[in-house]
Structure 1
């Protein structure tokens, strides 16, 4: 599922909205009143806090003495009425008076936001380029942003050292091997893995998942069970199962994504055959990249107790959630490091039990995976290190030292992320629901993804959902605004979001109510034909928050939605988009 272009149709001409009168008390104003103001840049603080664990930040002025860190007892609710110290506030980052007024209202409703002040210091020290270029980045599910200090530390390391291919035994190669071993140890420590786990470095999470699929001993007596709300890399494993005669069974998605626990347990039990055991695999998506649903990790223990081997896709879960492999002893878990801390790309990992690796059989061998190869002939002997048997060719030895530093970096801030992102997600969703078109008084957006069931109140709590908001923009009269229009208009406002189905067709179909349409697909069908069938571009608008997200980013998104709700602004954006999109044979998908 994806996007296809739509032709533009002229906007209708609703009457102009009445002017909004300013109010003396900003707290009394609803959010959309603040959003009418244009940006007026304010001078930002030149003092940037440096809180990058293990990473060197830009030097501070020589005469600067940092204030003492606040004690949690000073941040109890009764003290929120006093202005926080400068290092605990985001107000000096806000771009105009409207944003400042909205922030005052926001902080009065979500005072716990101040408990995450260290993330504002991080924003200033390592992500100041966002404010410098004026970009509101809300595509963290697509990829986290790299912190400046991590890149700087790694660059300095490369400049000071000589690294060689780990398959050699010279000094430079031994140094590479030493840092590769340190990276494996850091990964195991970060995920609290017991001693029977090892790390196989891959190109990304998809490569880690493929590694399991191509090597798993599927047979006609076994099966592969997965959730419909999964990434295509998880769906793709079914091809290996089908090729070897195994059955594939899906756990249906709920209307808001994820899976119902009772339904999951019933599916696992129904296809469990204790009298005729055969290797069967259960793949669980830890967090959906489109529906925002977190699936209970306890399902892994239930599946293992029935005899299933278990695989966890943690690519979307790991960046903002604590995962302990001691508490959730899954057989294998796939991650991508760029989704966790932005740098480097091109490195992922399969964190896996050694006993599980011993049951996998690779369909081929490559350089680095073997000790002896008969050529010509058919005999080969795998290398003695079991993790190396699954690492094809040369590992990304130049970037592995950055993994160690990146995990150290993320560990300093991960405890604060669930609270910060839960607050911003609640605020964004509640605010989005307020917007209505001034011409028709109809909603501007419809939130489709799962909403957090509760507000977090303190550091250390974990949310029952992620920080992803999938929605559609409704047209003023009927239908929905084309995804390509929203993406264009957002980019024009320096907002980085994403549209489409996010490589998750099952989750997107559940959110959009297209489950029955999925059943009507046929071999060879194209996305264009599917979109013609449903009558509009397929997919959602996804806003995903992450490590460096602050109030200002969310406010920028809301300001964009407010502009769409106004007739004059919407018409201007539509005309700019349609000038480059209109074609004689295209058809519009929305009546605006």
Structure 2
């Protein structure tokens, strides 16, 4: 569904009577009406794959068609940008407004060579913050390696084990090199960024008098560390967010100053920073970590969202520990993250337990435990995911080649999306969407520049009266049109509360409250619609998102999709809305 086609085909959605068919003509950004196929014929563009003509599940879809062969051109071709005929005029206007986009042509080459399935399946993928799409060449290289290699458990001295250990060491070196980390750092492989943050939380020497300072606009994995802190008698101190998320630097510095360790012998204090919010799109200046360090804090950076599209140098900003997930950076492998950590900091962490692989000797029965002599092994429980670590090395090499071009490309696309979505209006003249996340303060102009925000747009859709359209309906409609986006609070309750303006409601929560309870309190579904761009994003994706929003802004198309949503969701959800 939702193929990006070079031909003009109407969106056909069957009405309740099978003999009557509605033709949906895509509106322009200002909003137009739906007419018959004979009207606005030049505007008609098919967002829907052939199957979506049969949304009524009682009518079977046509037989599957074989996928067309991938494009033969894998190098830069100025006249072959994989842009549909319907989007071509808008694309030329876009290039006139953003000529710098052309200098990122290498990413168009990448799209044609490594993401052909986006074209053959017709899916518009705009959920890169949820997970990047893996490049096809990375899968081929890794599969070929596995096919010709014999890998064994790293906790042995056999040839197969030595090869696995060599691959693990190469992956550690690749991670340190990618983040420009000195030999003061080591790498601990974890299941994901959450696992890396949990390692710090459960092992940090919190005590009475300790302070744990963090921003409200943080992932739940950062908030969760407060449980370890409170259990040890530490005080949890929150930095309040702005109305668009993140925090004011001056406010953060004041809170850090007031809660700093008073002397060198004071209980240790930890400052956790979210490098980039996964819902508000704000970026935090890493210089705040230098300030915290100067006050005596240990510093922990959650870079899960930041690392996918931004350059991070641990030589320039030497935080004590940083958490990343590789699937968010280049899509494969899932189930592998890392804690990039100073060895000196690691020595101060105390594991609350031990397991296979991180000990040298254990007295049984008894209490004697001797940890592994390798620092990183003391924090890797059991057997690491040795079969996929070679893909980490190859993935980082892959990303290194394209990352310099990415901020400039995404800057162009985000500015286009913000401008186009902000102009969308209902027939009544009222806005069709409200953008809640932070927007870039400036346009990037050259390769290598870094944006002051991420490449996320968090928004809500509005009906003509200005009321919020349920996110669950938007997600349903998007899926029917083969658009992969995300809705909800993104596991970031503080950031969501800030941009939705429900912080006072958040303060009224009580033990045992459920999500449904909270939604009844605020009077609508919680969360936002999130569009996030990444490595394989291009203008066609952004244009398709704008056209989808335009469909929701038109009453007739919105009502047709709503009828199907209600039919599929059931009466209970309908009554709730």
For normalisation by structure 1, the TM-score amounts to: 0.86
Gaps of 5+ in 2: 1-21, 33-39, 50-67
Tell me how far 1:568 sits from its aligned partner: 1.4
Q: After superposition, what is the alpha-carbon deviation per residue over 1:342-391, rounded to whole angstroms, capped at 9, x for unaligned?
A: 00000000000000000000000000100000011110100100010000
Distance in 2 of aligned mates of 1:457 and 1:511 = 29
Label 1:479 to 1:20 Cα distance change in 2 as closer, same or farther (>3 A): closer
1:517 aligns with 2:505: yes
Q: After superposition, what is the alpha-carbon deviation per residue over 1:118-176, rounded to whole angstroms, capped at 9, x for unaligned?
A: 00000000001001110000000000000000001000000000000000100000000
Structure 2 counterpart of 1:383, from 372, 379, 402: 372
Contact residue 188 and residue 198 of structure 1 kept, 8 A: yes
Tell me how far 1:328 sits from its aligned partner: 0.4
1:47 aligns with 2:72: yes
User: Over aligned residues, Cα RMSD in angstroms?
Assistant: 2.1
Q: After superposition, what is the alpha-carbon deviation per residue over 1:185-209, rounded to whole angstroms, capped at 9, x for unaligned?
A: 0000000001100000000000000
Structure 2 counterpart of 1:333, from 298, 311, 322: 322
Contact residue 243 and residue 498 of structure 2 kept, 8 A: yes
Tell me how far 1:588 sits from its aligned partner: 4.3
Tell me how far 1:39 sits from its aligned partner: 2.6
Contact residue 29 and residue 550 of structure 2 kept, 8 A: no
Give the secondary-structure state (helix, strand or coil) at the position aligned to 2:77.
helix
- Report what 2:564 is aligned to: 576
Distance in 2 of aligned mates of 1:47 and 1:31 = 38
Label 1:321 to 1:358 Cα distance change in 2 as closer, same or farther (>3 A): same
1:482 aligns with 2:470: yes
- Report what 1:87 is aligned to: 77
- Report what 1:541 is aligned to: 529
- Report what 1:244 is aligned to: 232
Contact residue 31 and residue 431 of structure 1 kept, 8 A: no
Tell me how far 1:272 sits from its aligned partner: 1.4
Distance in 2 of aligned mates of 1:180 and 1:582 = 50
- Report what 1:174 is aligned to: 162
- Report what 1:413 is aligned to: 402
Distance in 1 of aligned mates of 2:573 and 2:369 = 59
Distance in 1 of aligned mates of 2:492 and 2:313 = 26
1:563 aligns with 2:551: yes
Q: After superposition, what is the alpha-carbon deviation per residue over 1:82-104, rounded to whole angstroms, capped at 9, x for unaligned?
A: xxxx524554x1223x2001101
1:296 aligns with 2:285: yes
Q: After superposition, what is the alpha-carbon deviation per residue over 1:438-485, rounded to whole angstroms, capped at 9, x for unaligned?
A: 2x2211100000000000011010000000000000112241110110
Tell me how far 1:579 sits from its aligned partner: 1.0
Q: After superposition, what is the alpha-carbon deviation per residue over 1:289-320, rounded to whole angstroms, capped at 9, x for unaligned?
A: 00000011000000000000000000000000
Q: State the aligned residue count.
A: 528
Structural mapping, 1:112-511, within 5 Å: 112-275=100-263, 277-438=266-427, 440-511=428-499
Tell me how far 1:36 sits from its aligned partner: 3.9
Distance in 2 of aligned mates of 1:177 and 1:369 = 15
Contact residue 216 and residue 241 of structure 2 kept, 8 A: yes
Contact residue 31 and residue 102 of structure 1 kept, 8 A: no
Label 1:169 to 1:273 Cα distance change in 2 as closer, same or farther (>3 A): closer
Distance in 2 of aligned mates of 1:113 and 1:371 = 55
For normalisation by structure 2, the TM-score amounts to: 0.89
Structure number with the bigger relative contact order (C-alpha 8 A, sep ≥ 6) is 1
Contact residue 272 and residue 306 of structure 1 kept, 8 A: yes
Give the secondary-structure state (helix, strand or coil) at the position aligned to 2:103.
helix
Contact residue 29 and residue 421 of structure 2 kept, 8 A: no
Contact residue 212 and residue 271 of structure 2 kept, 8 A: yes
Distance in 2 of aligned mates of 1:103 and 1:402 = 35
Contact residue 225 and residue 250 of structure 1 kept, 8 A: yes
Tell me how far 1:44 sits from its aligned partner: 9.8
Distance in 2 of aligned mates of 1:504 and 1:481 = 21
Contact residue 497 and residue 503 of structure 2 kept, 8 A: yes
Distance in 2 of aligned mates of 1:273 and 1:392 = 32
Give the secondary-structure state (helix, strand or coil) at the position aligned to 2:487.
strand
Give the secondary-structure state (helix, strand or coil) at the position aligned to 1:464.
coil
Tell me how far 1:38 sits from its aligned partner: 1.8
Distance in 2 of aligned mates of 1:412 and 1:483 = 37
Q: After superposition, what is the alpha-carbon deviation per residue over 1:517-570, rounded to whole angstroms, capped at 9, x for unaligned?
A: 111000110000000000000000000000000000011111101111112111
Distance in 1 of aligned mates of 2:110 and 2:256 = 44
Distance in 1 of aligned mates of 2:292 and 2:79 = 46
Tell me how far 1:585 sits from its aligned partner: 7.7
